[in-house]
Each structure stands twice: as structure tokens, then as C-alpha cells.
């Protein structure tokens, strides 16, 4: 099927626990192989991985035939790039390093057609089935899931305003950058980092929005789940490959 109908936003609003995996290998084959596992979502990363838009399209195509929902993190929150990603069929976004309510508003505007936003109009791309999907322009906004990533102490001050935006579906916490901003570089499981994210999750939940996090360990995943996080990343394709390869090597030592 060309660019499957997106159901992730519906599942977010149903408060399902959604478990995901970071995908950074730029490989459609790796994503396809991993999609045989019962993950709810894969994060196709363009911020800290050398994924370019053609790589993302290849990965979207293999996931169209699976039950796994693709979510994409762009390298920057740029409205021209967002437009190109939307036309290429990206429907679930995790926007990195959002620092203010105004930045979140601009992101939302970039994902909506006028008069609700500033997205350029086209039905020539994958998203509209190359012109074959009737009613795409009217339905597009309802299928787009927006995750906003909170990664600094400054961004925590904007949580209430960001959560108040009806188009924002999920607020996601990044322990790596947050720990660095707290002068705890590399200490993603530090008690102070955990406590800050726990408080952030509670604030997000108090505003009726889904809270997410990239957990640095399974213990952390359980901790954040008990705190109310429902959208949880538990590892990466690269990490899984390297960890298993090391176990095999150790077994032969």
C-alpha cells in the first residue's frame, strides 16, 4: 500500500502504552527485519543519525506493510524541511530541542494547510498517494501526530503552554541533553535527572497529554512508566546489534 493510513495518533489519544525503538542505521533492511517484532513504533532519526529524506522514504515504504508505526525526528524544526517530509509521507513527528511555546506554535503551523497553518499545498507526493487519495487535503491534519521534545531546564518552563496546544499529542523527555543541561553530562540515570523527568511527566499528565521518554535502561523505563509515561523508547537498533555481538564474542572468550 502507498503510505498507509496513520493510526498512531488515535492510539496516543486512547492512552495505550506504546513501546518503541530508535533506528539510526539508515537501513531499510534493518528496519524491515526489526518490524517482525511487536514494537508499536520506530523512531527514524535524522537529528543524530546520517538519515536523509530518501533514506527515510525507503524505511517508510517497508514499514507500510507492517504493524509498526514510523515516527521521524527531523534534524531541525525548519518549516521547509517539515513540508518536504510531510509530502514524502511522514505523519508522526518528534520535534527535537523545543525551547518555547512560540517555537511549538510555529511547528504546528508548519504541519497544517491554510488557514490553520502555512504548509504549502500539493497532492503530488506519497502522502496523497501521488494524487490518487480523494479528500487528502481535508484529512491530512487529523492524521499528523506531533511529539515535542523537552531537553533543557528552560524548556521545562514552557511545558504548560506547549501542552495547551490542541495539535500537540505528546511531550517527550530526552535524558541525555537534559542531564548535560543540568551539569550532569552522561549521567542519564542520575537521581536528579530522574526526579526532574518524573516531575515533568506529572505536569504533562496534569494537562491531559501523553508523556514520553527515551529510557536509558529497562529499570529507567519501568520507573518512568510508573511515573505515568506511556510512550517509551527502550533501546536502539545499533545498541541491540552491538550488545548481542559483544555477548557472542564474550561467550567465545
242: containing domain = 8-144+216-251
What pLDDT, on a 0 to 100 scale, did the predictor assign at position 16? 96
**Spatial separation of the C-alpha atoms in residues 69 and 63, rounded to whole Å:** 7
Q: Does residue 67 fall inside a structural domain?
A: yes
Q: Does residue 41 fall inside a structural domain?
A: yes
Q: Does residue 137 fall inside a structural domain?
A: yes
Q: How many domains does the chain have?
A: 1
Looking at residue 242, which CATH number applies to its domain? 3.20.20.60
Q: Examine the residue annotation and report whether 207 is marked as an active-site residue of this protein.
A: no
Q: Does residue 103 fall inside a structural domain?
A: yes
Output the CA angle 126-131-137, nearest 5 degrees.
Answer: 85
What pLDDT, on a 0 to 100 scale, did the predictor assign at position 2? 79
Catalytic residue among 48, 190, 207, 244: 48
Q: Among 243, 246, 234, 244, which Cα is nearest to 22's?
A: 234
Tell me, rounded to whole angstroms, the distance of Cα 41 from its chain centroid.
Answer: 9
Q: Does residue 231 fall inside a structural domain?
A: yes
What pLDDT, on a 0 to 100 scale, did the predictor assign at position 139? 92
Give the tens place of pLDDT for each residue, 87-107. 999 999 999 999 999 999 999
What percentage of the chain carries pLDDT values higher than 70? Answer: 100
Q: Does residue 14 fall inside a structural domain?
A: yes
Give the tens place of pLDDT for each residue, 124-177. 999 999 999 999 999 999 999 999 999 999 999 999 999 999 999 999 999 999
Are 47 and 96 in contact by the 8 Å Cβ rule? The answer is yes
pLDDT above 80 for 1 = no
Mean pLDDT computed over 197-210: 97
Element (H, E) at 218: helix 218-227
Amino acid at each position: 500500500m502507498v503510505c498507509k493510513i496513520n493510526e498512531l495518533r488515535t492510539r496516543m489519544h486512547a492512552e495505550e502504552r506504546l513501546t518503541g525503538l530508535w533506528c539510526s542505521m539508515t537501513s531499510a533492511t534493518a528496519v524491515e527485519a526489526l518490524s517482525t517484532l511487536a514494537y508499536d513504533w520506530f523512531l527514524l532519526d535524522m537529528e543524530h543519525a546520517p538519515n536523509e529524506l530518501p533514506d527515510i522514504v525507503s524505511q517508510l515504504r517497508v514499514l507500510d506493510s507492517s504493524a509498526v508505526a514510523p515516527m521521524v525526528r527531523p534534524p531541525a524544526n525548519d518549516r521547509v524541511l517539515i513540508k518536504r517530509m510531510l509530502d514524502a509521507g511522514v505523519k508522526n513527528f518528534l520535534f527535537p530541542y523545543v525551547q518555547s511555546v512560540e517555537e511549538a506554535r510555529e511547528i504546528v503551523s508548519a504541519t497544517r494547510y491554510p488557514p490553520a497553518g502555512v504548509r504549502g499545498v500539493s497532492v503530488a507526493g506519497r502522502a496523497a498517494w501521488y494524487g490518487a487519495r480523494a479528500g487528502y487535503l481535508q484529512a491530512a491534519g487529523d492524521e499528523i501526530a506531533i511529539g515535542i521534545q523537552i531537553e533543557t531546564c528552560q524548556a521545562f518552563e514552557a511545558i504548560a503552554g506547549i501542552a495547551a496546544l490542541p495539535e500537540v499529542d505528546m511531550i517527550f523527555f530526552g535524558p541525555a541533553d537534559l542531564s548535560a543541561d543540568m551539569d550532569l553530562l552522561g549521567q542519564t540515570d542520575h537521581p536528579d535527572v530522574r526526579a526532574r523527568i518524573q516531575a515533568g511527566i506529572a505536569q504533562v499528565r496534569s494537562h491531559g497529554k501523553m508523556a514520553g521518554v527515551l529510557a536509558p535502561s529497562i529499570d529507567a523505563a519501568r520507573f518512568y512508566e510508573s511515573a505515568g509515561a506511556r510512550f517509551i523508547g527502550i533501546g536502539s537498533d545499533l545498541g541491540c546489534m552491538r550488545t548481542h555481538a559483544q555477548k557472542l564474542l564474550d561467550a567465545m572468550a
